[in-house]
Amino acid sequence: MENKPKISVVKIGGNVIDNEQLLNTFLQDFSELEGYKILVHGGGKKASEIAEKLGLQPSFVEGRRITDKSMLEVAVMTYSGLISKQIVAKLQQLKTNSIGFSGADGNLILSEKRKNTAIDFGFVGDVISINNNLLSALLSQNIIPVFSAITHDGNGQLLNTNADTIAAEIAISLSKEYDIELIYSFEKKGVLLNSEDENSIIEILDFEKFQLLKEEKVIHSGMLPKLENCFKSLANGVQSIIIGNQNVLKSKIATKIKL
């Protein structure tokens, strides 16, 4: 059986983006990753900061952002503008040829407005499809796609979309043609047994242990959707997943997710 080409789909979290030193370390390591690679970034903290400067009050329910019309405009400006171009410029400095995309560019990520939920999240999108043909064409030209957390619905409406989910959906969609490693980088060394103890890393987290830790409220809030995306990805063809801090691309210290 012919080996599939390998792709690293890497998602970088807001707390790394907000710290220039951490970001530079991470992008240096990312630029040295061999083979095909795709970067997905969030930037929620920066979006909240800019919103407050504009006199807008960010609103959250259970850690998830409510995106009204004004907040959507801030999210698009921040994610697909400021952060996207800063990351691309830094990658070009590292001789890593990249292009920043939203989901609307090249119809790369089609979404629909979230529905059937008790809470109205506003202009928040759930991914429907990924344009694999264009993504593969970009990769074949040695272009590294850098995705912001903005998608579109095909009817002219931009949507704020969870960056962890975008990374997972890209990984799942490409897994038929490629051997996929999905990597989540955020401020912690991995998934922790005790959020106060940086060294309480769970080295291997399988689904059974995840369910147990969820029931015990050890894993909660923002880690829940991240890990749910991980297990969904593994169940749908993604080969391996690791979660760690800005050093995750080179460090041996991280959490490996298994079914």
Residues 102-139: pLDDT tens digits?
A: 999 999 999 999 987 888 999 999 999 999 999 999 99
Inform me whether the pLDDT recorded for 2 exceeds 90.
Answer: no
Question: What's the average model confidence in pLDDT over 211-226?
Answer: 88
Whether 122 is in a domain gets the answer yes
- Of 174, 216, 17, 213, give the one whose Cα is nearest residue 255: 213
Residue 167: give its domain's CATH number.
Answer: 3.40.1160.10
Q: What is the pTM of this model?
A: 0.95
Provide the H-helix boundaries in the chain: 14-17, 20-32, 44-53, 69-75, 84-93, 132-140, 163-174, 207-215, 223-235
63-107 confidence digits (pLDDT tens):
678 999 999 999 999 999 999 999 999 999 999 999 999 999 999
The structural domain count of the chain equals 1
Instruction: Tell me whether residue 65 is annotated as binding.
Output: yes
Range of the domain at 60: 6-257
Instruction: Tell me whether residue 43 is annotated as binding.
Output: yes
- Of 3, 4, 52, 29, give the one whose Cα is nearest residue 177: 4
Whether 92 is in a domain gets the answer yes
